Amino acid sequence: MILYSIKCSNNHVFKEWFLNYKDCDLKIASNKINCPECNDHRVTKEIMAPFVGKNAQKELQCCQNKQSQCKYVCNNN
């Protein structure tokens, strides 16, 4: 399952669960998704950014600082 932010042509944004990205695309193309606020079926997927948790942020900083204890993450020797 994947959660997408969906936006209607009236600029209402809402979240919707799908089996996968193809399921989302198919439902959008066949007008099977309606905005819960205005019932508009002209919707698009919003640009989504992946969630970055505390550990992922630490690993990124490790790589940027080229710290040797993090070589398994960023291949620094």
pLDDT 10s digits, 4-59: 999 999 999 999 988 888 999 999 999 999 999 999 999 999 977 554 445 545 55
Phi/psi at 33 (5° precision): -115, 125
List the chain domain ranges. 1-46, 49-77
pLDDT at 47: 79
pTM beyond 0.95, yes or no: no
- Picking from 33, 40, 30, 29, the residue whose alpha carbon sits closest to that of residue 17 is 33
